[in-house]
Structure 1
Amino acid sequence: MPPDRRVQRIVRVRTGCLTCRRRKKKCDETRPICAGCQRNDLACQWPPDVPGKRDPSHEHETQASATDQCRPNIFDAIEQLDGMSMPRSPLSQRAPSVSSSAGHSVIIGDHFEDTTLQEEPDNQRRLSTATGATTTSDTLVASVSMGNVLPRSLSLLPGYDAESYQLLSHYLATTADCMANGSTPINPFLVQIVPLAFSSDLLLQLVITQSAAHRAFRSRDESDTIAHSHYTKALQHFRRGVTDFIDGKESNPLMLLVGALLMCFTETAKGDMNGTIFDHLSAANSLLVKLLAQSDSAVPRDLKDFVIEYYTYTATVSMISIDARFSGQLLLNLDLEQRSRELLRTQYVGNLCGCWLELLLLIPCIFDLGRQWIMDDTQAVIPTADDIAMFASIQAQILRWSPYPNVGTEVRLAGLIFQEAILVYLYTSLGGFQYTSDGMYKGMVENAVTEAMSYLGELSPSARINSGLCWPIAVVGSCLLNPDKQDCLRRRLNAMTETFGLGNMHRTLLLLEAMWQSPASKAGPWNICRAMQQNQIWISFA
């Protein structure tokens, strides 16, 4: 199609804003921001000339300038896919059932017109830095994009509509950054997950779903029909994948495992309170065991390390939500724990566990130690010599731990916060659910809580490392009895929620608010599961 005809077809109205002209939408001409741009959160641009007297050459320059400023982040990411490590799998061939769904739109109601891919330039630069990407050339943008609308003829994802492209752009620019804590300059949610997503319809749908859930919570729209539609579609894809795996149609559990982990963090993003994440975590456990039983050469080393870290982090920080009186489920068997300890020998630093993986691996040990003392909380139990020895051994490992010398200041502070929180978890384990004023560990608990609050005070609530601090905040917050300290933690969680837009941060505050209304005897981390039962707030702190 000749270039001049393309420009003539885009400009449908002569009196509206330039943005509506490029989008081929009717403009209500409200200045300075028209209703269409306001509804879709777009930059509303107006021509400098008098309405109705259009200068074609000037308007062409304005459109070209706007296109150059608002390049879709998706192109920067796609351009780099050839340079990324993309594991091959039988699932890399697209399923016919998904391809045949082309043309079926999941866009509902007024959201249909929200089809542009638009990101701020600073987000684009951040994505390019995180992925090692270079800026897309002007020639490439001009050849595949006109007015920021992705042409269907060049679609790399048949079966996905314009809304899906926008959600993918949101994931690349925002969601992936919020999921990772920034401990390393390389974000695995980009360099590991994105290549896999482009080789599997299941993972691509899950990435889009996670982005939709994150965007919906950031806008505080719990009735977001697009997010609900993608969530339903993701569950259907996942069930189909599980069925194929059980029936033997697929032997490689990698894609399904990563899918289960992505579903876990989708619940994190949307702030689910029904405990759905534990179902996904259970599925991930079985799939990870099967994956590790395969040859180490079947999956790239970096990807396998990330998957092990992903599961270990999610499993360990979720255990505090389990009522130890009725369940001994550790979520981390000895083989998985050994695989995680192999990472420690390389001084592994990850975007989920930072430099404190060694501390996380002590959580199941403390859970198992404390479980036997709360099975029957109606009578006092005297610890045996073996119990005391185990307690002392765990305490020595926690106190001996220190952050790696090569990590940044924020990572070091986060590690120290985890250290103090795990000490609190240990010190309250032998006391069961009781937090009495004359408890033998009262002074030790209060000292650890004070230290943790001090480290939190040194860390800005907007720092990326906060995305992984819900667990220590919940543990420390459950012991706070002073209203001023409670208010300090309340402000922090509110600031974190506004910055990251992750639902689990808001749900953590809801749970703590409920605990702060209870008497002091109901305080402490071993009471968290009881507070969940009483208030019907079933969450993970991942």
Structure 2
Amino acid sequence: MPPDRRVQRIVRVRTGCLTCRRRKKKCDETHPICAGCRRNELDCRWPAPVPASRGPDHDQDAPVSTTEGRQPSFSEALEQLDEMAMPEGLLTQREPSISSSAGQSVTADDHPEDSLLHIEPCTQRRVSTATQSTVNADALVASFSAGNVLPRSLSLLPGYDSESYQLLSHYLATTADCMANGSTPINPFLVQIVPLAFSSDLLLQLVITQSAAHRAFRSRDESDTIAHNHYTKALQHFRRGVTDFIDGKESNPLMLLVGALLMCFTETAKGDMNGTIFDHLSAANSLLVKLLAQSDSAVPRDLKDFVIEYYTYTATVSMISIDARFSGQLFLNLDLEQRSRELLRTQYVGNLCGCWLELLLLIPCIFDLGRQWSMDDTQAVIPTADDIAMFASLQAQVLRWSPYPSVGPEVHLAGLIFQQAILIYLYTSLGGFQYSRDGMYRGLVETGVTEAMSYLGELSPSARINSGLCWPIAVVGSCLLDTEQQDCLRKRLISMTETFGLGNMHRTLLLLEAMWQLPASDAGPWNICRAMQQNQIWISFA
């Protein structure tokens, strides 16, 4: 019986043309066009001259050498990776590279089949929507061409080891699925973020850091040294990138902007309670403004839409953590708000904002309205005619909103939950959770709470859409006075934490537990920031 070929070492011809090597055909080495390429009418490509081989005592783990400061070509890298099977036909088009703000660029001038990332070919399948699903290779490969970048091998990057490869695998298989809410069949944390990560040392480090933080929290190991080391390294990369941008060494803010947003979600994964996410959000604000000032053709449309959604979602749900009595800070200025409203014209559905982007854009308006009525705790503020008109306008906008008919049942339910949470946020802006015993105000708030709890009861806590529901859960939970309802929400958050392993879900429960110990007069979403201050639990609910 012939030996099993699957276990044999793949032997490559080292002296033939690149085209024959890739096709695994014998090359007669005729220059400039070999007989095989001439016969098959193929582009006969030859490797660049290779420098003299290194001595046997040279450290094999050292970075690939370069001549005269140039980047090593793919052909040179292939000589060091003889045993790696390369997939055929990753890309059909060669594009310019995207440069990193804090690292090397990936050259796209080499042939696409010479990619250094081994991906098993797979046919006609989508990215799995299951929480623990395995990443589909076709969807990931397709994303490379969309991002105009080629993947790099981790083994060729100084500072990345096998542990980094494990963390990247964890991101592709688990973290990316947990971060997206499944509103669309395409996961932007794979399709948009991964190609950028393979073009930037900064973003690759941040992706690995996010994965490390997520893995550490899932295992409940807050002393995970690997996660801490990667987090420290990510901060160093990010600071270096910011410094280069300020010094004018890097004019493209895209990589830094995505980096700042990835830092935000790293804090979400690790369950940060120190408010660090707000620093990253402030950095993302100025970078996004600069990016949007550039030509629309500078960044692919899908990527720009995702970045706008990414920032808008994080900024709006983070505003509830700000004490309206002392700060009028708005993370979403008018220009950014207008950019987000442009998405509404296309009935945009995203993996962060679902179909309720229109509702999220009302949060800054409600915050500004409530801030005017809560600036002075010593005396009641009488609403002006303009205040009453604004309140009525906001209420009408929330009530007439409805989920898009095209969305799935889980996204539809989540949209209704957000709608009730926004109504509660608006009603309680009138002056906290103060009401007469049998007044209409109390009835409006309690109706919103009852409706929201009913919708939550119809939605499984293991459904992916829950990854974006911490904000409405916190708003509704802050108004719960009934112990049975509190216990119901407690069990839900515990189940969500066990399913997704995201730290912000656990921190949301910690905050609500603290609020449930307060008297009824201190309940409601406008007291969430005060409970944060009293218990030193600074989270953003993103």
Q: Which category describes the TM-score, using the shorter chain as reference length?
A: 0.7 to 0.9
Letter in structure 2 aligned against 1:447 = T
Letter in structure 1 aligned against 2:356 = W
CA deviation profile, 1:173-216 (whole Å, cap 9, x unmatched): 00000000000000000000000000000000000000000000
Instruction: Call closer, same or farther: CA 1:84–1:156 in 2, change over 3 Å.
Output: farther
Greater fraction helix: 1
Instruction: Call closer, same or farther: CA 1:442–1:409 in 2, change over 3 Å.
Output: same
Instruction: Call closer, same or farther: CA 1:79–1:369 in 2, change over 3 Å.
Output: farther
Letter in structure 1 aligned against 2:136 = S
Partner of 1:296: 296
Taking the TM superposition and a 5 Å limit, the aligned residue runs for 1:7-156 are 82=91, 88-91=97-100, 94-95=103-104, 126-128=134-136, 131=139, 155=155
**CA contact under 8 A between 2:356 and 2:415: conserved in structure 1?**
yes
Partner of 1:417: 417
RMSD: 2.8
Partner of 1:191: 191
Q: Distance in 1 between matches of 2:483 and 2:304?
A: 45
Q: Distance in 2 between matches of 1:447 and 1:473?
A: 15
Q: Distance in 1 between matches of 2:534 and 2:289?
A: 34
**CA contact under 8 A between 2:202 and 2:234: conserved in structure 1?**
yes
Report the secondary structure of 2:221's partner residue: coil
Partner of 2:540: 540
Cα deviation for residue 155 of structure 1 reads 3.1
Cα deviation for residue 448 of structure 1 reads 0.6
When normalised by structure 1's length, the TM-score is: 0.75
**CA contact under 8 A between 1:202 and 1:237: conserved in structure 2?**
yes
Letter in structure 1 aligned against 2:332 = L
Cα deviation for residue 428 of structure 1 reads 0.5
Partner of 1:115: none
Does structure 1 residue 445 correspond to structure 2 residue 445?
A: yes
Instruction: Call closer, same or farther: CA 1:536–1:80 in 2, change over 3 Å.
Output: farther
Cα deviation for residue 397 of structure 1 reads 0.4
Q: Distance in 2 between matches of 1:474 and 1:153?
A: 42
Cα deviation for residue 77 of structure 1 reads 13
**CA contact under 8 A between 1:130 and 1:186: conserved in structure 2?**
no
Partner of 1:177: 177
Partner of 2:479: 479
Cα deviation for residue 168 of structure 1 reads 0.1
Q: Distance in 2 between matches of 1:247 and 1:341?
A: 33
Q: Distance in 1 between matches of 2:164 and 2:93?
A: 22
Cα deviation for residue 79 of structure 1 reads 8.2
CA deviation profile, 1:228-262 (whole Å, cap 9, x unmatched): 00000000000000000000000000000000000
Instruction: Call closer, same or farther: CA 1:295–1:302 in 2, change over 3 Å.
Output: same
Partner of 2:256: 256
Q: Distance in 2 between matches of 1:239 and 1:206?
A: 12
Partner of 2:407: 407
Cα deviation for residue 284 of structure 1 reads 0.3
Cα deviation for residue 90 of structure 1 reads 3.2
Instruction: Call closer, same or farther: CA 1:535–1:93 in 2, change over 3 Å.
Output: closer
Q: Distance in 1 between matches of 2:491 and 2:530?
A: 24
Taking the TM superposition and a 5 Å limit, the aligned residue runs for 1:264-343 are 264-343=264-343
Q: Which runs of 4+ in 1 moved over 6 A?
A: 2-7, 75-81, 83-87, 121-125
CA deviation profile, 1:299-357 (whole Å, cap 9, x unmatched): 00000000000000000000000000110011000000000000000000000000000
Q: Distance in 1 between matches of 2:491 and 2:99?
A: 48
Instruction: Call closer, same or farther: CA 1:93–1:221 in 2, change over 3 Å.
Output: closer
**CA contact under 8 A between 2:261 and 2:310: conserved in structure 1?**
yes
Cα deviation for residue 124 of structure 1 reads 8.9
Q: Distance in 2 between matches of 1:240 and 1:319?
A: 28
Q: Distance in 2 between matches of 1:424 and 1:445?
A: 6
Letter in structure 2 aligned against 1:276 = T
- Structure 1 runs not aligned, ≥5 long: 8-74, 97-120, 135-151
Cα deviation for residue 457 of structure 1 reads 0.4
Q: Distance in 2 between matches of 1:361 and 1:404?
A: 16
Instruction: Call closer, same or farther: CA 1:344–1:409 in 2, change over 3 Å.
Output: same
Report the secondary structure of 2:160's partner residue: coil
Letter in structure 2 aligned against 1:90 = S
Cα deviation for residue 432 of structure 1 reads 3.2
Q: Distance in 1 between matches of 2:216 and 2:355?
A: 31
Q: Distance in 2 between matches of 1:483 and 1:178?
A: 30
Cα deviation for residue 91 of structure 1 reads 1.8
CA deviation profile, 1:43-65 (whole Å, cap 9, x unmatched): xxxxxxxxxxxxxxxxxxxxxxx
Instruction: Call closer, same or farther: CA 1:76–1:307 in 2, change over 3 Å.
Output: farther
Cα deviation for residue 94 of structure 1 reads 3.6
Q: Distance in 1 between matches of 2:86 and 2:217?
A: 25
Letter in structure 2 aligned against 1:200 = S
Q: Distance in 2 between matches of 1:162 and 1:307?
A: 30
Partner of 1:99: none
Cα deviation for residue 523 of structure 1 reads 0.3
**CA contact under 8 A between 2:449 and 2:479: conserved in structure 1?**
yes
Letter in structure 2 aligned against 1:509 = L
Count of aligned positions: 433
Q: Distance in 1 between matches of 2:217 and 2:453?
A: 28
CA deviation profile, 1:460-508 (whole Å, cap 9, x unmatched): 0000000000000000000000000000000000000000000000000
Partner of 2:467: 467
**CA contact under 8 A between 1:180 and 1:352: conserved in structure 2?**
yes
Partner of 2:23: none
Instruction: Call closer, same or farther: CA 1:449–1:95 in 2, change over 3 Å.
Output: same
CA deviation profile, 1:244-297 (whole Å, cap 9, x unmatched): 000000000000000000000000000000000000000000000000001000
Instruction: Call closer, same or farther: CA 1:94–1:422 in 2, change over 3 Å.
Output: same
Partner of 1:431: 431
Cα deviation for residue 434 of structure 1 reads 3.5
* Percent identity for Structure 1 against Structure 2: 86
**CA contact under 8 A between 2:101 and 2:200: conserved in structure 1?**
yes
Q: Distance in 1 between matches of 2:485 and 2:189?
A: 34
Instruction: Call closer, same or farther: CA 1:305–1:443 in 2, change over 3 Å.
Output: same
Report the secondary structure of 2:100's partner residue: helix
Partner of 1:233: 233
Does structure 1 residue 507 correspond to structure 2 residue 507?
A: yes
